[in-house]
Amino acid sequence: MVIVGGGGHGLATAYYLAAHHGISDVAVLERGPIGLGNVGRNTTIVRSNYFHPDNIRFYDLSLRLWEGLERELNFNAMVSQRGTLNLFHTEAQRDLFTRRANLMRLLGADAQSLDREQVRRRVPLVDLDNGRYPVLGGFLQPRGGTVRHDAVAWGYARGASAAGVDIVEHCEVTGIACAGGRVTGVHTRHGLIGADVVCLAVAGHSSHLAAMAGLRLPIETHLLQAFVSEAVKPLIDVVLTYGAGHFYVSQSDKGGLVFGGGIDGYNNYGQRGTLPMAEEVAAAAVTLLPGLARLKVLRQWGGVMDMSMDGSPIISTTALAGLVLNGGWCYGGFKAIPAGGLTTAHLIAHGSPHPLAAHLSLTRFVTGRIVDERGIGPYPYAH
Distances (CA, A) of 277 to 14, 111, 245, 283, 298: 36, 30, 11, 10, 15
Quick one: which of 23, 186, 244, 325 contacts another protein (CB under 8 A)?
244
Stretch that binds another protein, among 184-192, 259-267, 326-334, 337-345 (CB under 8 A): 259-267
Q: Select from 343, 325, 348 the least CA-distant residue to 24.
A: 348
Q: What are phi and psi of 321, to 5 degrees?
A: -60, 135
CA atoms within 13 A on the CB side of 123: 34
Return the residues of window 314-353 that contact another protein according to CB under 8 A: none
Q: Does 174 bind another protein (CB under 8 A)?
A: no
Element (H, E) at 116: helix 116-122
Per-residue binding string, another protein, 350-379, x by CB under 8 A, is --------------xxxxxxx-x-xxxxxx
Is the Cβ of residue 107 or residue 349 nearer to another protein in the bound state? Answer: 107
Among residues 19, 61, 87, 111, the one that binds another protein under rule CB under 8 A = 111
Footprint of another protein on 273-302 (CB under 8 A): 273-276, 278-279, 281-287, 289-301
15 Cα distance to chain centroid: 18
Q: Which residues pair with 188 in a beta bridge?
A: 173, 191
Instruction: Give the dihedral of Cα atoms 350, 364, 339, 209; nearest 10 deg.
Output: 80
Taking CB under 8 A as the criterion, which residues in 20-39 touch another protein?
A: 32-33, 35-36
The helix/strand/coil state of 176 is strand
CB of 38 to another protein, least distance (A): 14
Q: Which of 113, 168, 246, 349 binds another protein (CB under 8 A)?
A: 113
Exposed/middle/buried for 365, CB within 10 Å: 0-12, 13-18, 19+?
Answer: middle
Q: Interaction with another protein in 120-159: which residues (CB under 8 A)? A: 124-125, 127, 130-133, 148, 150-151, 154-155
Q: Is 112 in the site for another protein (CB under 8 A)?
A: yes
Stretch that binds another protein, among 10-18, 111-119, 329-337, 343-351 (CB under 8 A): 111-119
Name the segment binding another protein (CB under 8 A); options: 13-21, 100-108, 185-193, 346-354.
Answer: 100-108
